Structure 1
Amino acid sequence: MNASIYENCNEEHFYDSSEFRYSISSIFYSFLFIVGFPLNVASLCFLVRGKKRVTEIKIYMISLTIADLLFVTFLPFWIDYYYRRGNWIFSSFMCSLWGSLFYINTYNTIFLLALISFTRYLAVSQPVKVAQSSQNRRGVALTALIWTLTISVALPILINHKDHINKTNGTIRCFEYYQEADTKIKLLILHLVMLLGFIVGFGVVIANSVLILQRLSMTKEILRPSQRLKTRAFRMVLAVFVIYIVCFLPYHIVHLFWTLLVLNFWESKNCTFRKSVNDVHQVALCLMSINCILDPVLYCFLSRRFKQYFKELTQSWRQKCTIRRSSKPEAIQLS
């Protein structure tokens, strides 16, 4: 009897215990899609069509936006999955494609934010040199390196797409219920590599943020950045920290424990504990997905032009909606 309870806790009960995830996650991801898609489209249009010269930090922002757009575009598949209470109706390849895009977006964002923080540190510590030089080649090279690295790590997921589909009690699960020992070991190694990537990225962000704040606190005789540069640098430090702490830190803290439990490398007979870990993991997963709408907020901190552009775009949409809703000619003329 105890063995039966233990087996149920390890397999079915572990996933199905977090019942709240189906309703809450479908609503939450729907919100992210409705808000994130137009927001990132507007961001990409501004970055690509902007009259301002292409800079290293702009290259990183464009790459961030593309990664966020890919993530948001495929959100309807995940919304449908949770709406059907964890039943995947699409192909195994689409399941792996979605999972690959999820990891690519997450770790592209982590590494690109680290590069943005480093670039901002250079702008604060060497403002004259940075203003007189163009580091576009470095930006393109590092961006290409990050995309190559994240795609290479996610590629095995796409190649072995059938490993991530499992049929249980008439329900087809996506990225749930791993049974093969060989697959479990590969997944454990993959998640450890991702954890290492987060630690490296977060370490770079912390180091650059500390250096930026130190430079900003120096006297004017040593360093003379403009007040505008100080404000932008401080806001960038704050924005990047918020994204890391809100989106990525909770997920990576709980994800290692969750991975060990779900793959049964950490055998615990306490079903209540396993349920709690799964519950927290589901919440952390939602929090990490918020980065797709927080990244454009970062642009607002770094660019006054984007803030003005988005404000004008919002006002234009509101005016068009007002005109369409108005049925009287007088009302249209007044609007």
Structure 2
Amino acid sequence: MEVQYRSQFPVCSFRLTFAVCVCVRACARAQVCAGAECWSVHSNHTSQPSVCGHDDDAFKYCAYTITYMLLFPIAILSNTGALVVFFWKCWHRSSAFSVVMMNLALSDACFSLTLPLRLAYYFNRGIWYFPDWLCRACVYGFYLNLYTSIFFLTVLSMLRWVAVMQPLRPQVEPVRMARVCVGVWLFVGVASVPFLLNGVTQR
């Protein structure tokens, strides 16, 4: 019996942020000392190293600002499109896989809504001008997206393993998978509450 399954991936993943930052940082380090003398020769013909440093904070603010400016419109459009597609699939032909993918896209879409706040924070060079509760909500949304994505990807891996290794086994019902997703949201939401209790102490 030939098992045919189609692998699908989330339309947008914020894990590209790390790769972009690494590439930008590598280019910045390669040009740190360009056009400057890093060694000075004294009258006794001995070479001693001179100061040749660069500001890590300045790079961080610049790199994060550019990264979030590029990711925000892509994230909003991609995750909105993913939600529409998976909602349509769940409405016409529901499956456990579609339910999990819709929740994964919802998790990423919620995180993408906090990107403008992070963009403003890094654009202002680490100064938070918004209310304290908004800062807590931004941090809470970050960890909510982080851990729900981990759980949903784990569930997807388990579904694929069952489909390949046990093809004759009945598929998981969408209603049961929806209950699992609700349990993931509740568990991660409650476990991340401490991030709402710690506000900013210094602006």
Q: TM-score, normalised by structure 2?
A: 0.68
Counterpart Cα distance in 2 of 1:49 and 1:19: 45
Q: 2:103 aligns with which of 63, 72, 76?
A: 63
Taking the TM superposition and a 5 Å limit, the aligned residue runs for 1:13-32 are 17-32=56-71
- In the alignment, structure 1 residue 141 sits paired with structure 2 residue 179: yes
- In the alignment, structure 1 residue 95 sits paired with structure 2 residue 132: no
Identity level (%): 27
Q: 2:201 aligns with which of 157, 166, 173?
A: 166
Counterpart Cα distance in 2 of 1:127 and 1:52: 23
- In the alignment, structure 1 residue 47 sits paired with structure 2 residue 82: no
Return the offset for 1:17.
Answer: 4.8
- In the alignment, structure 1 residue 128 sits paired with structure 2 residue 168: yes
Instruction: Give CA-to-partner distance per residue, 1:66-101, whole Å, 9 cap, x none.
Output: 111110012100000000000111111000100000
Instruction: Give CA-to-partner distance per residue, 1:17-67, whole Å, 9 cap, x none.
Output: 533110110110111111111001110011112365111111111111111
Counterpart Cα distance in 2 of 1:58 and 1:166: 43
RMSD: 1.6
Counterpart Cα distance in 1 of 2:137 and 2:56: 26
Counterpart Cα distance in 2 of 1:53 and 1:96: 39
Return the offset for 1:135.
Answer: 1.8
Instruction: Give CA-to-partner distance per residue, 1:184-233, whole Å, 9 cap, x none.
Output: xxxxxxxxxxxxxxxxxxxxxxxxxxxxxxxxxxxxxxxxxxxxxxxxxx
Partner in structure 2 of residue 77 of structure 1: 117
Partner in structure 2 of residue 250 of structure 1: none
Counterpart Cα distance in 2 of 1:60 and 1:106: 15
2:129 is paired with a residue of what secondary structure? Answer: coil
1:58 is paired with a residue of what secondary structure? Answer: helix
1:166 is paired with a residue of what secondary structure? Answer: coil
2:110 is paired with a residue of what secondary structure? Answer: helix
Partner in structure 2 of residue 151 of structure 1: 189
Counterpart Cα distance in 1 of 2:81 and 2:56: 39
- Does the Cα contact within 8 Å between 2:133 and 2:199 map onto a contact in 1? no
Q: 1:116 aligns with which of 147, 156, 170?
A: 156
1:90 is paired with a residue of what secondary structure? Answer: coil
Q: TM-score, normalised by structure 1?
A: 0.42
Instruction: Give CA-to-partner distance per residue, 1:295-329, whole Å, 9 cap, x none.
Output: xxxxxxxxxxxxxxxxxxxxxxxxxxxxxxxxxxx
Counterpart Cα distance in 1 of 2:71 and 2:188: 23
2:193 is paired with a residue of what secondary structure? Answer: helix
Counterpart Cα distance in 2 of 1:52 and 1:123: 21
Q: 2:74 aligns with which of 35, 42, 66?
A: 35
- Does the Cα contact within 8 Å between 2:65 and 2:119 map onto a contact in 1? yes
Counterpart Cα distance in 2 of 1:77 and 1:146: 26
2:201 is paired with a residue of what secondary structure? Answer: strand
- Does the Cα contact within 8 Å between 2:65 and 2:122 map onto a contact in 1? yes
Higher share of residues assigned helix: 1
Counterpart Cα distance in 2 of 1:66 and 1:152: 18
Q: How many residues align?
A: 148
Partner in structure 1 of residue 146 of structure 2: 106
Q: What letter matches 2:73 in structure 1?
A: I
Return the offset for 1:166.
Answer: 2.6
